[in-house]
Amino acid sequence: MAVPAPLRANGATLFDVRVRRRWLAVLVPVVLIGLIEVASDSVLDPHLPFPRDTAFVMFVVVVLAVIYGSWVFRELDRLTGTLRQQNAELATRHAEVSALHRVSVAITALRDIDAVLRAVVDNARLLLGADVALLVLPGPDGEARLAASSGPRGSIDVSGGQPGEDFRRFVRPDHLVANLAAPLRYADRTIGTLAVAADTGRRYGVDDVEMLSSLASQAAIALENDRLQRELREMAVRGERERIAREMHDGLAQVLGYVNTKSQAAAELLAVGRVDAARVQLSELAVAARSVYVDVREAILGLSSPIPPDRGLVGALEEYATRFAEASKLVTLVEAPDSVRSLVLAPDVQAQLFRIVQEALTNVRKHAAAQRVVVSFAMEEDSLVVQVEDDGRGMGGGATPAEDWPHYGMRTMQERAATVGADLRIEAVEPQGTRVVVRVPVVAVSGRRVA
C-alpha cells in the first residue's frame, strides 16, 4: 500500500532526528576530548608545565562531564516521567475497559436488572473516584425515583427529601460539592440519569465524562432489554390466553351447546312418550360428555407439558405422545433420527412446533376416526420437516367431519407456523388418512444446524 508523501516526509524527518541525537550523544564527548587534547598539546604545554596542565585538563573534563551528564539525566528523567504518565493512562484505560466489560457481562446475563444497575453505580463510583453514585429513573407518576445507589452510610436519602431537583434530591448537600451527571438515553428518549458526586472540589475531565456516559449507555441498554423481556413474557401469556379462549369458544362451548340441544330433545321425546328415540338422544349425549371430558384432560395435559432443556422437542413430544395415547386410546408413535434429536432449536420454534403437533393430534382424535397416528421428523436440505400422519377417514383430503361436530384448529396451526417462518400444509394420504406437514428453515452455525 502506497504511503502519502507528507507522511513519508514526516516519518523520514522524525527518523533522521532520532538518528542524529544518538550519534551526537556519542560524537560530542569524543570531539570534546579530542579538542581538549589538541588544546593541551598546542596551547597549554608552553604556558603550563606539568602537572599544572594535567590538572587544568582534568578540571575542564569534569566541568564538561557535569554539564553533559546533567543534560543526559534531564532527558532520562523526562522520558521516565513520560513513560510513567503513559503507564498510568494505560492502567486507567484498562480499569475503564474492565469495568465496562463487567457491566456488559452482567447485562448479557440479565438475570436480575437490580443487580445490573447496582454494578453500574458501583463501577461509576470506583472509576471516577466519587463518594456517591446513583441512578435515578422516572416513576409511574413521573416523579424521579432512586433505582440504585452506592456510597457510605448516611450519604444517600432514599426518600428524596434533600433540597434540589433530579438526582440532587437523593444526596446530602455536603456530598454535592462536585458532581457530574449523564443521561440514560435509548433511541431518542431519555429514560433516566446516572450521577456521581464528591465532598471535595475536584474537577471532572473529559475522560470522566466519557466514562460516565459509557456506563449510562450500558444501563440504558440493560433497562430496555429488561422491558422488552417483560413485554415478551406478557405477550406469550396473552397469546396462550387467547389460544385457550379461542379453543374453548370453538370447541368446548360448541360441544356444550350440542349437549344442551340433545338434552332438550331427549326431554321433549320423553314428554311425548318416545322412549326409544329419547334413549338414542341420551346415548349421543353420553358420547358428547365423554368427548368433553377428554377435551378437558387434553387441555390440561397441553398446559402442563413444557419442553425441558435436557429433553428437547423430540423428547418432550415422546412424553406427550405417551400420555396422549393413554387418554385417547389411539396408537401414537414419534419417530426421529439422531440428526434431528441433536438439532439446536430456538425456544420459540420449539414451543410453536410442539403446539402445532399437539393441535394436529387433537384434530386426529376428534375428526379422523383413526386407529394409528405417527409423528415423524426429518431433515430435507435446509429445512426441518415435521409430519403428523393418521390412517383415518381423511379430514384434509376431501372428507369432512360429522356435521354435528365443530371443525377447528387449522387456523391456529397456520398462525403458529407463520410466527416462526414455517410452511404448513395438509395432504391426503392414499388409500386413506391425512398428513399435516410443517417445514421450518434451518441454518448452520459453528458446524451445528439450528432453527
pLDDT at 438: 95
Strand-pair category, 144-150 with 443-445? unpaired
Q: Return the ∠ at Cα 90 (arms to 87 and 95), rounded to 5°.
A: 125
pTM here is 0.48
Q: Domain 108-228 has what CATH class? A: alpha beta
DSSP 311: T
The per-residue pLDDT string of the chain (451 residues; one tens digit each, 9 = 90 and over) reads: 444 444 444 445 545 655 666 666 667 777 777 777 677 666 666 666 667 667 777 777 777 778 877 877 888 888 888 888 888 878 877 777 777 777 666 656 656 788 888 888 988 888 888 999 999 998 877 788 899 999 888 888 888 888 878 888 899 888 888 899 999 988 788 889 999 998 887 788 888 888 889 889 888 888 888 888 888 778 877 777 776 776 666 566 667 777 788 888 888 888 888 888 888 888 888 877 777 777 776 666 666 556 766 678 899 899 889 988 888 889 999 999 988 888 888 888 888 899 899 889 988 887 888 899 999 999 988 889 999 999 988 754 444 443 433 345 677 788 888 888 899 999 888 888 899 999 998 853 333 445 5
pLDDT reported for residue 345:
84
* H or E element at residue 56: helix 52-109
**For residue 406, what pLDDT is reported?**
39
Q: What was the pLDDT predicted at 403?
A: 40
Beta-sheet strands, E only, within 291-420: 331-335, 372-380, 383-390
CATH of domain 307-451: 3.30.565.10
The residue to which cell 434533600 is assigned: 162
Rounded to whole angstroms, the Cα distance separating 244 from 250 reads 10
139: left (phi over 0), alpha (psi -120 to 50) or beta: beta
Neighbours of 180 (CB within 10 A): 22
**Residue 18 parent element (H or E):** helix 5-39
All three cell numbers of 160: 428524596
Q: Residue 441 — left, alpha, or beta (φ > 0 → left; ψ -120 to 50 → alpha)?
A: beta
The helix (H) or strand (E) run that includes residue 149 is strand 144-150
Q: How far apart are CA 149 and CA 193, in angstroms?
A: 12
3-state SS assignment for residue 332? strand
Cis preceding-peptide flag for 51 (omega within 30 of 0):
yes
pLDDT of residue 248: 67
Angle at which helices 5-39 and 52-109 pack, to 10 degrees? 150
| Domain ranges (residues) in the chain | 16-104, 108-228, 307-451
